[in-house]
Chain A
Amino acid sequence: MTASRTAMLFCLVLIAGLLWPLPARSAPFLQCPPDTDGVDTDGDGIVDNDHVCLHIFAGDGFVNMADGRLMYMFGFGDANGVMAEHVMHHGMLGAEFPAPTISVREGQKVYLNLTNVGMMVRPDLFDPHTVHWHGFPQAAAIFDGVPDASISINMGGTLTYFYNVVEPGTFMYHCHVEATEHMQMGMLGNLYVLPKQDLLADGEDLNGFTHHSGYTYAYNDGDGSTRYDVDYPIQLAAFDPDFHDASWTVQPLPFAMMKDKYPMINGRGYPDTINTDPIANTYNGKFSQKVHSLIRATQGQKILLRISSLSTVDYFTVTVLGIPMKVVGTGARLLRGPDGKNLYYDTTSLTVGGGEAFDAILDTADVQPGTYFLYTTNLNFLSNNTEDFGGMMTEIIIE
């Protein structure tokens, strides 16, 4: 072989090598940087544990309504701990309703990795997804999750959101891509932030109230007035079976005719709301409804209800018959005026529109042990579509 031919061969190989398409980065790329700033920001006294790494996937799946009806849905699912190269397979048809509950602490820095695993039932759809942390203070567009104003993640890709969590309270999260469709289809979840006041030293005085280790509060109230013993997220939403069926069967989506037919608490209608087991769907047996709403407390305890709605059509008014309710927060803020005036109020029912959140404390001090009910006073929504004695209701057991 002459030198020139060798050179040409070498060039060809080189050119071929350079032109050969690099393999697409198809495995999810998770970002969970270590906390090396040497500063304790979440109040627990440890400087290197302020970073929280979460991994969720977005795709499609199935759930069964309380009357048994199978519903095709879109949703988020839990991918924490799943190895990167397994996430696509893990998430396939594995969406959950509601989405996994996210609970973090004030002062933490959250890296939320979102992997889009695609829609297996709808291979014609290549929808991207986002996460919108509803109510995040001072949000920047890039991590706000509105696709028109920033970026959304395509199938097979992973987008990492960053949140410097500075405010405690009750929030919610959902996908904001084609929001009307993706939210109706079920991409909704509970999200709340615990206050630093929980981590004060034992015996610390809060304006006359003595904090003890283990005490938990809804907010940094400074006086113990939002202390609770047990807390429950209560997320209201509803499905329209015609919309979900149209999505399943590749039909035009009936936005204009959307109606609430399956009103739900935490993704289930009564009596599934009081079933404490995770519920598997009848399509592929995956546990797609993991959050129950049975509330338990012992007499004398305070129950914090973190009430939010991600309904796409209706307002819902919810009540607890027989247990007084005190509203201490709304919009992830303590109900207190700018100069400290106390705005807490007592009530029997709360009216919640889509995107609204409330913190309400039930005080069981003067309440007899027994079974009580949390339900909607829009009594016609005590239905699982055409099935009576269902819908937006759950039970509270006081022992």
Chain B
Amino acid sequence: MTTNRSRRVAVMAVPVLALLALAPSVSAMVPETPGPPFNFTARAGHISTADGGSLLMWGYANGDGIMQYPGPNIVVTQGDLVTVVLTNQLPVPTSIVFPGQVEVAASGGTAGLLTQEAAPGETVTYTFTAAEAGTYHYHSGTRPDLQIEMGLVGAIVVRPQGAMGMHMAYPHMGAAFDREYLFLFTEIDPRIHDLVECGQMDEVDNADYFPVYWFINGRNAPDTMADNFAPWLPSQPYACMPMMHPGDRMLMRIISAGRDLHSFHTHGNNFTIIARDGRLLESAPGLGPDLAESNFTISVTPGGTADAIFTWTGEKLGWDIYGHQQDIDNEPLGDFPGPGDIDHNNDGIFDNVPMEDHEYAPDHGKPFPVVLPDVKDLTFGGMYSGSPFLGAMGFLPPGEGGMNPHAGFMYMWHSHLEKEMTNNDIFPGGLMTMPLVVPHHVEIMH
């Protein structure tokens, strides 16, 4: 209902801070944690949900810091000997398991059903060799039905050795990328967290599970689009705000860390799935992802991961997405034609405008195919630049737009079970983000 519109604009205002500046974020696209060895402390804390709520969580903290959701990213190189020392400051036993890793040794603690467990106050050390590059995850191996829900999950990225490690998901050209982003999916039933917080853990009914919050990298939309290490989300350091230029190969490292399947849909284009559960989709070792599949929606098994490459160039749309046929209102806006607007031969058409990077040549100069309706017949999105063209601003009524200062194209990437795009009865929210494609002249600072 549009009565929520004003609230929607307000909550969407938050990511403006990030988008306006495209400011350099403090760390890389996939923030790393110092190590190995990694020293994690399992402890309680709180997170903020985007509807203004707060939930008690159990999570992994790096060293003696505050707990974070999800846990600290473990980013290592293929072949590394990885040691994770877990100190338990929860009121219950806990542990860590590493699905996809082979021959994980655990020392200390007592034997649980899945691995060695640390009693409250105890320490257990896990060691394994990260033998294969890929995307993996870790989670509690004690009462996973309760402890994964409470937040004891995290991502593992194993990079191929050498220089290619920063630009290849796996040691093969078919897994090369220009940018990479983590997509760690979880969901939460707040009743469980309330019961734990009130000391009624035994009342938790796992069979009655009913989530009403959904997360990417530990945040609900629109917090997903804020920056990494946003100071007002101290327990939720990781963002999911992919940005790219046309033609970039964007690596999506998708981790299904909760218990539910989420059919994740990328507007804008199909992606190509090149690996699952940390193994290339290849018919024989060394051939690269020759079994890769293209899709527009992906379901990752709970406990599994997937690596997919997303690209976009806007090719074959049948019109020039840069609007080279049209007069473009350059900065300062709204004064067309101004001194910054060039029209070589005064016929309203730009001549000899060079092709952009990755522009589809046959569509160069083709006019926009329809007449857009009058402004009074339209509702404008906050992330609309006012112009249908990439890199162009256009007229917007006062108060509209403003969240797309570089006139990029934004696409909604989200769980297509639309209920999961809400925050506890409030739309919009949940498992959603708005990746941004900006023209080549706009620098992406991470």
Contact = CB atoms under 8 A, between A and B. Distances in A.
A and B touch in the complex (CB under 8 A): yes
Interface of A: 24-25, 29, 31, 33, 109, 111, 125-128, 132, 134-135, 137-142, 144, 146-154, 156-162, 164, 166, 176-181, 183-184, 253-258, 309-315, 330-333, 335, 337-339, 341, 343, 351, 353-357
Given A140-B321, A148-B382, A149-B409, A356 B297 contact: yes
A148 B381 contact: yes
A25 B371 CA distance: 14
B283 interface: yes
A354 B317 contact: no
Nearest to A160: B370
B380 interface: yes
A355 B265 contact: yes
Given A256-B212, A338-B289, A178 B427 contact: yes
A255 B425 contact: yes
Residue with the highest number of chain A CB atoms closer than 10 Å, among B212, B376, B416: B416
A264 to B, nearest CB: 16
Contact of A147 (B212, B267, B295, B379): B379
B229 interface: no
A127 B416 CA distance: 21
A153 B296 contact: no
A33 B367 CA distance: 13
A239 B434 CA distance: 27
B316 A164 contact: yes
Contacts of B1: 125, 127, 178, 181, 253
Contacts of A159: 372-373, 377-378
Interface in B333-392: 369-374, 376-384, 388, 390
B370 A356 contact: no
Contacts of B174: 338
A42 to B, nearest CB: 13
Given A150-B381, A180-B427, A341-B291, A24 B409 contact: no
B269 A148 contact: no
Contacts of A134: 265, 296
A181 B12 CA distance: 19
B270 A255 contact: no
A233 B270 CA distance: 21
A337 B372 contact: no
B421 interface: yes
B94 interface: no
Contacts of B317: 138-140, 164
Residue with the highest number of chain B CB atoms closer than 10 Å, among A134, A149, A254, A351: A149
A147 to B, nearest CB: 5
B421 A180 contact: yes
Nearest to A130: B379
B442 interface: no
Interface in B267-313: 267-270, 272, 283, 289-297, 299, 312-313
A162 B318 CA distance: 9
B269 A312 contact: no
Nearest to A128: B379
A144 B267 contact: yes
B410 A149 contact: yes
B269 A162 contact: no
B417 A152 contact: no
A353 B427 contact: no
A394 B321 CA distance: 44
B185 interface: no
24 contacts: A29-B371, A137-B270, A138-B312, A138-B317, A140-B388, A141-B384, A141-B409, A141-B410, A149-B404, A149-B410, A153-B378, A164-B319, A178-B428, A181-B427, A255-B427, A330-B295, A331-B296, A333-B270, A337-B283, A341-B291, A343-B291, A353-B262, A355-B265, A356-B299
B49 to A, nearest CB: 12
B369 A162 contact: yes
Contacts of A25: 374, 377
Interface of B: 1-2, 12, 174, 212, 261-263, 265, 267-270, 272, 283, 289-297, 299, 312-319, 321, 369-374, 376-384, 388, 390, 404, 409-412, 415-419, 421-422, 424-428, 434
A355 B296 contact: yes
Given A134-B296, A154-B379, 9 more contacts: A137-B270, A153-B378, A153-B379, A159-B372, A164-B319, A257-B425, A310-B416, A312-B418, A331-B294
A255 B411 contact: no
A160 B373 CA distance: 8
A151 B291 contact: no
Contacts of B321: 140
Contact of A332 (B212, B296, B404, B424): B296
Contacts of B421: 179-180
A315 B427 contact: no
Contacts of A152: 378-379, 381
B413 to A, nearest CB: 10
Given A140-B388, A144-B411, A330-B293, A355 B380 contact: no
A139 B269 contact: yes
A149 B412 contact: yes
B390 to A, nearest CB: 8
A313 to B, nearest CB: 5
B425 A312 contact: no
A135 B296 contact: yes
B315 A138 contact: yes
Contacts of B388: 140-142, 150
Given A149-B381, A151-B378, A179 B418 contact: yes
Nearest to B432: A179
Contacts of A181: 1, 427
A146 B267 contact: yes
Nearest to A148: B381
A105 to B, nearest CB: 15
B373 A29 contact: yes
Given A338-B292, A354-B417, A139 B263 contact: no
Contact of A355 (B2, B297, B370, B384): B297
A138 to B, nearest CB: 5
A157 to B, nearest CB: 3
Given A253-B1, A341-B290, A151 B381 contact: yes
Contacts of B12: 148
Contacts of B425: 254-257
Nearest to A111: B370
A157 B314 CA distance: 27
B267 A139 contact: yes
B370 to A, nearest CB: 4
B106 to A, nearest CB: 35
A353 B299 contact: yes
A355 B434 contact: no
Given A148-B434, A149-B434, A151-B381, A180 B373 contact: no
A335 B272 CA distance: 12
Contacts of A126: 2
A47 B415 CA distance: 41
A353 B416 contact: yes
A164 B363 CA distance: 11
A159 B418 CA distance: 24
Contacts of A31: 370-371
A184 B418 contact: yes
